[in-house]
Structure 1
Amino acid sequence: MAPMPAPAVALVVLVLLSAVPGYFSDDLNTDAQALQALRSAVGKSALPSWNSSTPTCNWQGVTCENGRVTELRLPGAGLMGTLPSNVLGNLSALRTLSLRYNALTGPIPDDLSRLSELRAIYFQHNSFSGEVPASVFTLKNLVRLDLAGNKFSGEISPDFNKLNRLGTLFLDGNSFTGEIPKLDLPTLSQFNVSYNKLNGSIPKSLRKMPKDSFLGTGLCGGPLGLCPGETALTPAGSPEGQPAGGGAADAGGASSTKKKKLSGGAIAGIAIGCVFGVLLLLALIFFLCRKKSSSSTPAAAVEKGRDLQMAPMDMELKGQNGSAAGNGAHVGAAAAAPAVATTAAVAAAAAAKTGGATGGSKKLIFFGPMAAAPPFDLEDLLRASAEVLGKGAFGTAYKAVMESGSAVAVKRLKDVDLPEPEFRERIAAIGAVQHELVVPLRAYYFSKDEKLLVYDYMSMGSLSALLHGNRASGRTPLDWETRSAIALAAARGVAHIHSTGPTASHGNIKSSNVLLTKNYEARVSDHGLPTLVGPSFSPTRVSGYRAPEVTDIRRVSQKADVYSFGVLLLELLTGKAPTHAVVNEEGLDLPRWVQSVVREEWTAEVFDQELLRYQNVEEEMVQLLQLAIDCSAQHPDRRPSMSEVAARIDEIRRSSLGDRPATDSAGEGEEPSL
């Protein structure tokens, strides 16, 4: 056969090369059509960038490789409704599918089985229902599956064993029933079925998981303790009902059971002994409380049990009348405190006793100007009267009043299990932030059992209390100038924190962490505290301020701070608290609710009624609203920096105040340096 002429070969090559782009284009067109169908079904108003004038690979949440859509990430994008059938399955090159924190309902479509390349599914915090479909169990490459916080029901299928590459399986916060099947997944390292209607014994293969993987269920065994009928002779890893000692244990089982039974006389003797012991302990405590201290030195005072009788020990729980206490306390927070007062002084005394302060090795460590000449010491704190200000995710805050009359705020940390060198390193970074718009960390105390932080006391309490505390007819409305001044000062405070390093962040921006002076000047508080907690830390509720990309509260980026600050601005403008579950019947969070109202051109409906009475500032209010929306964008790259936010607020205030410089805590017309 004669070889093909060179021109003919060249023609064939050109034809083949020209066909390749068309091949990719056709597949990408198929992906684009599937995405448009998804938008039509659940995101008509939520995904405005998904249109023909923008390349598919530049659409919000879409990532492409080699001319195919490989990632679809739409966390908190405002998707609502039921996922359509025969749509997602057309994205055959998809490796990551994230639709978390939306309002999706109904079952998971069966055509998911066609996504053979899928590695990760993030469907948490929607309202999906029904059983987990069989299509999920065909995804052999699946590594992460998060279905938490939905309405899935039925039993947990043993078909999860088909996903032999699965490393993460989160099913918590659903309505699963029955027992957990035996799961033999060699690579499974993260597992959670908490808060389901499960019962029975935890399978042997899962008993290595931590206790919080099974909370709020009827399960038993493993980290939850023995099941009914199990004994200490039946270890967590042994088959239920089989003694660990084998045949010898079986032989002696009846006699050992008899030995464990107590006679009525023995039980009565134990009860009498317990009563006598309690009476003896009470007598000893009474004696110690009556005994006067014969030593004047701080060390001797602690050694003699002064922590049990500290004078004057003013135990009043001030703030139970609903007044707003300082340093982050919500209105009425003290009213929720236990009837027996717990004070900062008691915490300090306990810390001194357990941490070895008697030898003088433990003391308050001061920062900033106070480090050279501390104005008080640990003993002064022991003698201070105290009142509960409020309880938060990181601990309880107290107002401690010294004998000299000066007051400080003391935060008693919880869930901090860092070794001392690491704690000192992280707390030093927090203490190094010294700025007029940031509540400074003045000192800290560290022992194995107690960690205390000492701050300046802010007498007017928090912005949260000011906004939401008392909306009765006698309330003085919070005007535009005050709100915008608070926004500017808080923005500058956070911007300064960001300026201390490329990874420096506040980590927990919310209205209860914006404190006020007597002149209603704002200060940012509690920065950096998320860096002190351990990996097991889990807030009791999901904060309405948290950016959708944040999965670990210990690692919050500067852009995530900007999102939280945007929610704070919306709170100032709307008067609505984002942490109060939902803001309307559709279950949207505050940013999405605001966007839905503005989208319908009902902008005036967004603003707090207290603001609408002020004339000639409507334009400035709309400008600040737009800035808040920009800050709370779903994608971090679309959010401005905090320095830009502060500059825009300053510009908005200048226009509303007649081009004169905005006032702030640095003085009339004076710009604080960042």
Structure 2
Amino acid sequence: MAAMPPPAVGLAVLVLFAAVLPAILADDLNSDAQALQALRSAVGRSALPSWNSTTPTCQWQGVTCENGRVVELRLPGAGLMGSLPSGALGNLSALRTLSLRYNALTGPVPDDLSSLSELRAIYLQHNGFSGEVPASLFGLKNLVRLDIADNKFTGEISPDFNKLIRLGTLYLDGNSFTGEIPKLDLPALEQFNVSYNQLNGSIPTKLRKMPKDAFLGNTGLCGGPLGLCPGETAPTPAGSPEAQPGAGGAADIGGGKKKKLSGGAIAGIAIGCVFGVLLLLALLFFLCRKRSSAARPAAAVEKGRDIGMEPLDVEPKGQNGSAAGAGGHNGAAAAVAVPAAAAAAGAAAAAKAGGGSTGSKKLIFFGPMAAAPPFDLEDLLRASAEVLGKGAFGTAYKAVMENGSAVAVKRLKDVDLPEPEFRERIAAIGAVQHELVVPLRAYYFSKDEKLLVYDYMSMGSLSALLHGNRASGRTPLDWETRSAIALAAARGVAHIHSTGPTASHGNIKSSNVLLTKNYEARVSDHGLPTLVGPSFSPTRVSGYRAPEVTDIRRVSQKADVYSFGVLLLELLTGKAPTHAVVNEEGLDLPRWVQSVVREEWTAEVFDQELLRYQNVEEEMVQLLQLAIDCSAQHPDRRPTMAEVATRIDEIRRSSLGDRQAGDSAGDGEGDEPSL
């Protein structure tokens, strides 16, 4: 028999391979299905009803297939409970993405993950995993993202993380890791967080570029964004005199001989010193004259107040919501100029008359400023002022000092507390010092006037940003900015709650969320309801007030959560809850949202400005569900503010991961970035 030509042999092999391939792929998919069924039997027997023999494996909930293999398993918040079985996930040899976040999984992470050589992203955050990070993870050479935050992992952070050379995201926060942070040298690392563990020691040099938030909650950590460690000195800036060769000693010129000053040089120095002293005396004389002349207008303002002159208490036009608090900075300041020192004219009159019960005539400072006050009452009296707005607790002003610095001054109303009680309550407010809370810098007390001094926030309030200008030329407030504002505000309120079991903000609303130049949120006006009398009944906060609140002076932490839920709804819908009704049905904002979503999730709820952004629908729905949970009618059904902040952080991470990976799945977990 003649030999078969080589082309015929190749064709025969190809036909045979095409006939066998479906069987091979079917065997692989059957193997994957068996592994998934083992996983379901262990942790999801009642949570995964679609995982059955009548439904194709690749159509099961959370399962994505390519070329007949399971490549993604995404089950966030699916209700999984128990410990992951050994020998199940390890059989999914083609798996690239594993997402089991926000479930109730416990116990150790199984070692068989080491066999998943294609694995690029692992998301196990917000479960109850315990023990040490398994060494098997460090063999996953293709791993790009690892998030095991908010679990119960213990032990030290292993330096073997350095084996994951493609790792770009490493979140270890919210666990119980101990010891020092190892020297991680990961060239692709861009996202890193070890906050709220039990770590100590110095932050490694290559990690000091990370933001401060990445290290908070570890009382033993120091260095980098957390400040110098004991015995550590600040690095000398390049180009400074100390960094120059030969600095600190005399110049060595011409073979090491030091040049001596000539007699003419010495005489010149002496003459220069004499002229310097005369110039200094002349400058002091000029400043004294200027100070004396500046005092006369202030005295004239005092006199004007004595005969009835008042600051202009007007509501600035074009601003929505109150301007309460430190700010009630609702956008640009009102175009209403008041005379110099008008914001503190009452204080001047009281000081002139002897003050209150103790005759106090000075500002009392809090925090770092208490040791060296940057200005005094007289400086404040000479400041020019603009009305920012009138809110439930008084009128806010922007006061600009002679040196150009600006502060916000709150002139309180309806406060008739005796001075000892006022001092006690205001001290509790001033003790709250946090980067996400607008700090109370100082106060003035007299019988007739009570002034509070805060940092001035130039970008105004969230209320003004959301509702101030909806014209066609408006720059839309995108999802990233809104979710970042929500997270910062949640963390700020959570910090206030952490200061004591009964500590609360008491007046959460969008006009009390102020913004920096980078649109970073700061919570203002906390604690002011404790200063007012029993007859105080503001109508401006009715849209945010929890149904169980009958006395604004006694707002619980759960009532704060309700108000924050309304704030989240305001961010998502673009509707102002302070309106009597938000639609023709006469419902307040929480009830209107619930009436719309009772049937199904619908775009009618969301602000039209948000609908133009792609791949964020799932995150918007998740934040909407959180807002509904917060605004539940029964206080016991509302989460804590710490839980609210954690959930917003989870939602933001999902959105961030989705954008970075270009993944349209909306789960926030994507493939690895290009290297």
Indicate if the aligned counterparts of 1:570 and 1:625 stay in contact, CA closer than 8 A. Answer: yes
Matched with 1:429 is: 428
Contact 1:344 1:412 in 2 (8 A): yes
Name the counterpart of 1:343.
342
Question: 1:163-202 counterparts in 2 under 5 A?
Answer: none
Change (3 A) 1:555 1:357: closer
- Secondary structure of the residue aligned to 2:408 is strand
What does residue 521 of structure 1 align with?
Answer: 520
**Where in structure 1 do 4 or more consecutive aligned residues deviate above 4 Å?**
293-306, 315-326, 337-342, 357-360
Aligned AA for 2:635?
P
Is this contact kept in 2: 1:298–1:379, CA < 8 A? no
Q: Is the 8 A contact 2:506 2:529 kept in 1?
A: yes
**2-side partners of 1:444 and 1:576: how far apart?**
35
Change (3 A) 1:356 1:295: farther
User: Which structure 2 residues correspond to residues 559-638 of structure 1 after superposition, within 5 A?
Assistant: 559-638=558-637
Contact 2:544 2:567 in 1 (8 A): yes
Q: CA deviation at 1:342?
A: 8.7
Is the counterpart of residue 413 in structure 1 residue 412 in structure 2? yes
Indicate if the aligned counterparts of 1:329 and 1:391 stay in contact, CA closer than 8 A.
Answer: no
CA, structure 1 residues 637+492, in 2 after alignment: closer, same or farther (shift >3 Å)?
A: same
User: In the alignment, what sits opposite 2:452?
Assistant: 453
1:307 to 299, 302, 309: 302
Q: Distance in 1 between matches of 2:638 and 2:415?
A: 32
Q: Shift of residue 538 of structure 1? A: 1.6
Deviation at 1:358, TM superposition (A): 14
Cα distance per residue 1:269-301 (max 9 Å; x no partner) = xxxxxxxxxxxxxxxxxxxxxxxx999679986
- Structure 2 distance, partners of 1:400, 1:472, is 30
Report the counterpart of residue 548 of structure 2 in structure 1.
Answer: 549
What is the CA–CA distance in structure 2 between the aligned matches of 1:425 and 1:298, rounded to whole Å?
38
Secondary structure, counterpart of 1:400 in structure 2: strand
Aligned length: 365
In the alignment, which residue of structure 2 is the partner of 1:393?
392
> Is the Cα contact below 8 Å between 1:582 and 1:589 reproduced in 2?
yes
Q: SS at the partner of 1:453?
A: strand
Deviation by residue 1:21-62 (Cα, 9 ceiling, x = unmatched):
xxxxxxxxxxxxxxxxxxxxxxxxxxxxxxxxxxxxxxxxxx
- Partner of 2:609, secondary structure, is helix
What is the distance in 2 between the residues matched to 1:483 and 1:534? Answer: 35
Question: 1:546 is aligned with what amino acid?
Answer: R
| Alignment partner, residue 477 of structure 1 | 476
Alpha carbons 2:315, 2:389 under 8 Å: kept: no
Q: Paired residue for 1:644?
A: 643
Kindly indicate whether the alpha-carbon contact (under 8 Å) linking 1:438 and 1:525 is maintained by their aligned counterparts in 2.
yes
RMSD: 3.4
2-structure distance, mates of 1:299, 1:352: 18
Structure 1 residue 640, shift from structure 2 partner: 0.2
Name the structure 2 match of 1:439.
438
Task: Report the residue type matching 1:578 in the other structure.
Answer: P
How far, CA to CA, are the matches of 1:437 and 1:472 in structure 2? Answer: 31
Residue number in structure 2 paired with 1:178: none
The equivalent residue for 2:327 is 327
**For residues 642 and 382 of structure 1, what CA distance do their matches in structure 2 show?**
39
Alignment partners' CA distance in 2, 1:350 and 1:584:
48
Q: Could you list the per-position Cα deviations for residues 277-332 of structure 1 after superposition, in whole angstroms to 9, with x for gaps in the alignment? A: xxxxxxxxxxxxxxxx999679986996552479xx9x999996758998214468
Three-state SS of the structure 2 residue aligned to 1:523 is strand
Per-residue CA deviations over 1:203-251 (Å, capped at 9, x if unaligned) read xxxxxxxxxxxxxxxxxxxxxxxxxxxxxxxxxxxxxxxxxxxxxxxxx
1:552–1:361 distance in 2 versus 1, CA, 3 Å: closer
Q: Which amino acid aligns with 1:328?
A: G
For 2:334, give the aligned amino acid. Answer: A
Question: What letter matches 1:404 in structure 2?
Answer: N
Alignment of 1:62-77 (within 5 A): none
Matched, 1:378 2:373: no
- Match for residue 356 of structure 1? 355
**SS of the residue aligned with 1:624?**
helix
Q: Kindly provide the amino acid, as one letter, of the partner of residue 302 in structure 2.
A: D
SS of corresponding position for 1:551: coil
Question: Which residue number in structure 2 is paired with residue 368 of structure 1?
Answer: 367
Residues 580 and 340 from structure 1, CA distance in 2 versus in 1: closer, same or farther, beyond 3 angstroms? farther
Asked whether the equivalents of residues 387 and 396 of structure 2 are also in contact (C-alpha less than 8 Å), the reply is yes
Partners of 2:356 and 2:298 in 1: CA distance: 9
Tell me, in whole angstroms, the C-alpha distance in 1 between the residues paired with 2:343 and 2:481: 33
Identity of paired residues, percent? 87
Return the offset for 1:354.
4.2
Deviates more, 1:645-654 or 1:342-351: 342-351
Would you say 1:532 and 2:516 are equivalent positions?
Answer: no
Gaps of 5+ in 2: 1-287, 661-675
The alpha-carbon deviation at position 344 of structure 1 amounts to 1.2
TM-aligned CA deviation for residue 514 of structure 1: 0.1
Give me the whole-angstrom Cα distance separating, in 2, the residues matched to 1:323 and 1:507.
22
The whole-number CA distance in structure 1 between the counterparts of 2:342 and 2:410 is: 10
Maintained 8 Å contact 2:566/2:627: yes
Distance 1:591 1:319, change over 3 A: closer
The 8 Å contact of residues 307 and 382 in structure 1, kept in 2 or not, is answered as no
Deviation string 1:161-192 (CA, Å, 9 cap, x unpaired) is xxxxxxxxxxxxxxxxxxxxxxxxxxxxxxxx
Indicate the structure (1 or 2) with the bigger Cα radius of gyration.
Answer: 2
Q: Which has the higher contact order (CA 8 A, sep 6+)?
A: 2
Query: For residues 296 and 460 of structure 1, do their structure 2 counterparts lie closer, same or farther at Cα, with a shift above 3 Å needed?
Result: closer
Cα separation, partners in 2 of 1:530 and 1:341, compared to 1, 3 Å: same
1:655 aligns with 2:650: no
**Counterpart of 2:609 in structure 1: which amino acid?**
E
Whichever residue aligns with residue 377 of structure 1, its letter is D
SS at match of 1:444: strand
Any unmatched runs of 5+ in structure 1? 1-292, 662-674
In the TM superposition, residue 600 of structure 1 has moved relative to its aligned partner by 2.0
What is the CA–CA distance in structure 2 between the aligned matches of 1:454 and 1:299, rounded to whole Å?
22
Q: CA deviation at 1:543?
A: 1.5
CA contact (8 A) 2:360 2:446 kept: no
Judged with a 3 Å threshold, the aligned counterparts in structure 2 of structure 1 residues 341 and 596 are, in CA distance, closer, same or farther, namely farther
Deviation readout 1:509-547 (Å, 9 max, x if unpaired): 000000000000000000000000011112145520000
CA shift in 2, pair 1:563/1:358, >3 Å: closer
Alignment CA distance shift 1:430-1:298 (3 Å): farther
* Structure 1 position 500 matched with structure 2 position 499: yes
CA change 1:659–1:371 in 2 (3 A) is farther
CA distance in 1, matches of 2:533, 2:512: 21
User: Which whole-Å CA distance do the structure 2 matches of 1:304 and 1:629 have between them?
Assistant: 55
Q: Distance in 1 between matches of 2:396 and 2:342?
A: 9
Deviation of 1:660 (Å): 9.9
